[in-house]
Structure 1
Amino acid sequence: MSKLKKMPEFTTEAEEREFWESHDSTEYVDWSRAQPVSFPKLKPSTKTISLRLPETLLDRIKIEANKRDMPYQSLIKAWLSEDVEEKRRAR
């Protein structure tokens, strides 16, 4: 492999993001030496949304969540995630 370019120093995250949007990382990083890493305590970023549901549906969801001893919002997220993954695998 040819000699890698020196990694620039960035003063802000925005500056770094702008740089990588127009440069190929293989000129700066030897990816053949990369190793997988795990960040088990890293919490994914979330976004708050407003969702209007019929009260009867929300009541049924809360009952199901109570049966599973979990918050109803967590159950909704789990169901949505499972459905999306199932649809992706079906493609």
Structure 2
Amino acid sequence: MKVVTTWAEVPHFESEEEEAAFWLDARLEVRLMNGSLLKADTRESTTITLRFDPRLLARIKRIARSRYLNYQSMIKQWLSERLEKEL
């Protein structure tokens, strides 16, 4: 399997089929994937404390790891998405 280490290695695709064929034998390097994630908002923020059942926190961390995310950032993302849905 080819490991893509720079975005320049990803060709321009003429169709979705061509793109699907490329990604069958290629994957992004973890550092490249992490570098492409949106950076945290640098505006002022407030620190809070939440208490989680250890098993629940372990499950959240496992999901975050599988998505190459920091678990705290993922929780903030979930809360933000749910807030938008509620509003």
* TM-score, normalised by the number of residues in structure 1: 0.49
Residue 76 of structure 1 pairs with residue 78 of structure 2: no
Long gaps (5+) in structure 1: 1-41
Aligned residues: 47
Matched residue, 2:48: 49
Structure 1: 4+ residue segments shifted above 3 A: none
The structure whose Rg is larger is 1
Q: How many angstroms apart in 2 are the aligned matches of 1:43 and 1:70?
A: 18
CA RMSD, 1 decimal: 1.2
Long gaps (5+) in structure 2: 1-40
Q: How many angstroms apart in 1 are the aligned matches of 2:84 and 2:44?
A: 19
Same amino acid, percent of matched pairs: 45
Greater strand share, structure number: 2
Q: Which has the higher contact order (CA 8 A, sep 6+)?
A: 2
* TM-score, normalised by the number of residues in structure 2: 0.52
